[in-house]
């Protein structure tokens, strides 16, 4: 199964994708996580991407496409499919992905748009903490770790992303809203878009997504 999670920064794509990946046994591909890994390892890609990321801008499509193609070649994805989080960010990326999948005789099954109000986005992002080891997300108020600044799952150290500061959040939202309407239209035309209100609690949003995935499986079997 091949699922895309679309939504603004702070919609909870990463959190939902991790939960869904466990529940549906599908690999989670986060382009943001892969980029952050490359930045922290100072790879060539990381060095090229860092400045764009720190300024809240999109990393150029050529770099992202190469990175995604490589990840899509790996056996777990070939066998199971994926939950894609953070890609596509614009129409060109959506078309590129469709072309890559077409060559493999396959296509996206379902695209979830996690609709989120701006006040919720700012509140979530400005309190977000991320584990430096396993990438799990926490929140200073809504989902605090059991021990201050330490990950509940792997005991890694938690940090605030450099792009989760207020000025960069605003820039990321501007970039996001500029591109998203064409993406929404693109997937609506393909009859693949499902909207979900993501202002609600994590568990409620997750159960709605799972219900829609089940419905999708039922309708495509008949
Ligand atoms: P995210 O973790 O998805 O919020 O991504 C963090 C940052 O990584 C973004 O603000 C972009 O600079 C970069 N990024 C992640 N995914 C993409 C993508 N598909 N295209 C371009 N830049 C991306």
At 173, which CATH number? 3.40.50.300
In a domain, 159, yes or no: yes
**CB distance 106 to 51 below 8 Å:** no
Q: 33 CA distance to ligand 1 centroid (A)?
A: 9
In a domain, 208, yes or no: yes
**CB distance 14 to 205 below 8 Å:** no
In a domain, 42, yes or no: no
Q: Work out how many domains the chain is built from and give that number.
A: 1
Pocket test for ligand 1, best of 4, 11, 32, 72 (most atoms within 8 A of CB): 32
Of all protein residues, the one whose alpha carbon is nearest to atom 15 of ligand 1 is 32
pLDDT digits (tens, 9 = 90+) for 155-205: 999 999 988 988 888 888 988 988 999 999 999 999 999 999 999 989 999
Domain span at 134:
2-26+81-221
7 CB within 6 A, ligand 1: no
- To the nearest 10°, the Cα dihedral for 144, 149, 154, 159? 100
pTM metric for this prediction: 0.90
d(CA 103, CA 154): 39
What DSSP string describes the chain? Answer: -EEEEE--TTSSHHHHHHHHHHHHT--EEEHHHHHHHHHHTT-HHHHHHHHHHHTTPPPPHHHHHHHHHHHHTSHHHHHH-EEEES---SHHHHHHHHHHHHHTT----EEEEEE--HHHHHHHHHTEEEETTT--EEETTTB--SBTTB-TTT-PBEE--GGGSHHHHHHHHHHHHHHHHHHHHHHHHTT-EEEEE-SS-HHHHHHHHHHHHHHHHHHHH-
**CB distance 64 to 32 below 8 Å:** no
In a domain, 57, yes or no: no
pLDDT at 210: 96
Q: 50 CA distance to ligand 1 centroid (A)?
A: 10
pLDDT digits (tens, 9 = 90+) for 27-65: 999 999 999 999 999 999 999 999 999 998 999 999 999
In a domain, 73, yes or no: no
In a domain, 207, yes or no: yes
124 CB within 6 A, ligand 1: no
In a domain, 203, yes or no: yes
**Measuring CA to CA, which residue among 31, 13, 24 is closest to residue 216?**
24
pLDDT digits (tens, 9 = 90+) for 74-112: 999 999 999 999 999 999 999 999 999 999 999 999 999
Pocket test for ligand 1, best of 58, 72, 168 (most atoms within 8 A of CB): 58
In a domain, 50, yes or no: no
What DSSP string describes 50-71? Answer: HHHHHTTPPPPHHHHHHHHHHH
């Amino acid at each position: 199964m091949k699922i895309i999670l679309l939504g603004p920064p702070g919609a909870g794509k990463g959190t939902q994708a991790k939960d869904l990946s466990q529940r549906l046994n599908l690999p989670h591909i986060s382009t943001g996580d892969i980029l952050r890994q490359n930045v922290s390892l100072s790879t060539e890609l990381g060095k090229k991407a860092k400045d764009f990321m720190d300024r809240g801008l999109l990393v150029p499509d050529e770099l992202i496409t190469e990175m995604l193609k490589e990840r899509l070649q790996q056996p777990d994805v070939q066998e199971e499919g994926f939950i894609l989080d953070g890609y596509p960010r614009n129409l060109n990326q959506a078309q590129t992905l469709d072309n890559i999948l077409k060559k493999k005789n396959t296509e996206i099954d379902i695209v979830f748009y996690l609709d989120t109000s701006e006040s919720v986005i700012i509140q979530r992002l400005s309190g977000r903490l991320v584990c430096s080891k396993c990438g799990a997300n926490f929140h200073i108020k809504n989902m605090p770790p059991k021990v201050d600044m330490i990950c509940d799952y792997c005991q890694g150290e938690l940090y605030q992303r450099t792009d989760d500061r207020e000025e960069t959040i605003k820039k990321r939202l501007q970039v996001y809203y500029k591109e998203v309407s064409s993406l929404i239209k693109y997937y609506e035309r393909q009859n693949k878009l499902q909207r979900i209100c993501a202002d609600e609690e994590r568990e409620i949003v997750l159960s709605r997504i799972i219900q829609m995935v089940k419905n999708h499986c039922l309708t495509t079997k008949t």
